[in-house]
Amino acid sequence: MTMAPDMLPPADRESVFVNAPVGVAVCRPSGVLLAVNPALGDLVGRRADDLVGRSLFELTHPEDVEAAQEVWAALQRQRTGPSRHESRLVRPDGGTVPVQISTSWVEATPDGAPEHLVLVIEDITDRKALEAQLVHRSLHDPLTGLPNRSLYQDRLRHALERGHRENTPTCVLMIDLDGFKAINDAYGHPIGDLVLVAFAERLRAVLRSSDTAARLGGDEFSIVCENTERADAQVLADRLRASVSEPMSLAGTSVELGMSIGIGWAPGGTDPLESIDQVIREADDAMYADKTTRRSR
């Protein structure tokens, strides 16, 4: 037979509270904790008894307090149905744990029990890690780990917007690997994949912290350089050429790689909506011109 919680004997209700596998607490409308079960104490790295009398907001990450207080205020205005929100709680060692907090309002009773709130607090560390992993996969190339075209376009747009606000130039380098199809044909696609991974590593090695490199598809790569004049972008391109000029030893095979590079430049203060296509087109045109020059040598 299933029994409603309020029909359970008091001792059994106490056992449910103490032995619940997730954090459970009772608190005043102000957020001051009145009762805390051991699971919640374990979650935040404190003894449950030490939490009684403290405010839940004291345990909340400072960056999350305002949002938590807004949820709290809305719950007190409406007092209908449970409220759920995500937050981070802080442990004594400074570590944080992401949680989902489900809050229910309990009105005062005729026998004198004051109004209070019941909280169910669940650790969502694994869920947040999975979400972060899925987001990363959606924005990065699975072979090289570099940003993909979607993230690249977002980074370029933000760079141009900052350049517009702060009157700083932005450069784009478009890169195409010369003879990559011949490498695939001669050695097979597994070696071709290793070439792309090795090139991405060399690309990362020459980047500045403010640069964003991306694989746009196939053997096409690009770099977004914020607050960068054309001459500085050329220095970066020269460093990359020098890095790539060294033969690659991959799975016992020595592979020589060439590349063509073009630079596009957007002066500071330009409209980002107008300059995004222009700077990419300029870099593309310069890259194809570089490829033509290299083929004629």
DSSP string, 151-215: HHHHHHHHHHHHHHHHT--EEEEEEEEETHHHHHHHH-HHHHHHHHHHHHHHHHHH--TT-EEEE
Q: What is the Cα 61 distance to its own chain's centre?
A: 18
- Give dist(CA 265, CA 280) in Å, integer: 9
Q: Would residue 219 show up in a list of annotated catalytic residues for this protein?
A: yes
Give the type of residue at 113: A
* In the block, residue with structure tokens 């050429």: 241
Spot the catalytic one: 6, 219, 284, 285. 219
Residue pair 155/257 in contact (Cβ under 8 Å)? The answer is no
H helices of the chain, where?
10-19, 38-44, 48-51, 56-59, 62-78, 125-139, 149-166, 180-187, 189-206, 230-244, 272-295
**CA 115 – CA 168 distance, rounded (Å):** 57
Cβ-contact 199, 257 below 8 angstroms: yes
**Closest among 179, 242, 173, 240 to 204, alpha carbons compared:** 240
- The residues carrying an active-site annotation are 219
